[in-house]
Amino acid sequence: MRKFVRSLGNATNGIKHLLRERNFRIQLVIGAVILSLGALIQVDKNDYYWLLFCTFMVLLLEGINTLIEKLADILRPYYDERVRVLKDTAASVVLLGSAVSVLIGLSIILQTIFGSHFAVGLLFGIIILVVFFSLGLFGGGRE
């Protein structure tokens, strides 16, 4: 039992480290806002489970991304093109998970608020994602 309690302490320390990461904090706040909004507008229980799943999926992916980046920095503290590709790929996994979450979240929230077909939320989500992906393609990712 002592080992289990120690493991819980280590996991709690890991969460403290994640909370120091800017992107994790941003995603945590966005997730809290979405979950609060879902509760406020009283989305269907199953839809709320989807919002909860999407929120924690993004947080888990960001945690894995942080892990990969920290590990890469330890193994290669100097610039290495292979490490850059590794970090960019890990970040893209978070981006893709976030994109799916935006589509699902908008579908649920717009359907609940306006009674619209779920595809309306998907369409708005796709438009938003195209804008953000375009920003990344044409201006982001350069140092």
Instruction: Please say if 81 is a catalytic residue.
Output: no
Annotated ligand binding at 88? The verdict is yes
Residue-range domain boundaries for the chain: 2-139
Q: Does 143 count as an annotated binding residue?
A: no
* Residue pair 26/59 in contact by the 8 Å Cβ criterion: no
DSSP for 96-139, please give it.
HHHHHHHHHHHHHHHHHHH---HHHHHHHHHHHHHHHHHHHHHH
80: three-class secondary structure by DSSP: coil
| CATH code, residues 2-139 | 1.10.287.3610
Tens of each residue's pLDDT in the chain, 143 residues: 899 999 999 999 999 999 999 999 999 999 999 999 999 999 999 999 999 999 999 999 999 999 999 999 999 988 899 999 999 999 999 999 999 999 999 899 989 998 888 888 888 888 888 888 888 777 665 55
Burial class (CB in 10 A: 0-12, 13-18, 19+), 6: exposed
pTM exceeds 0.85:
yes
Give the CA angle between residues 66, 72, 73 to the nearest 5°.
90
Given 24, 34, 54, 62, which residue is catalytic? 62
Residues 6+ apart with CB under 8 A from 26: none
Q: Does 81 count as an annotated binding residue?
A: no
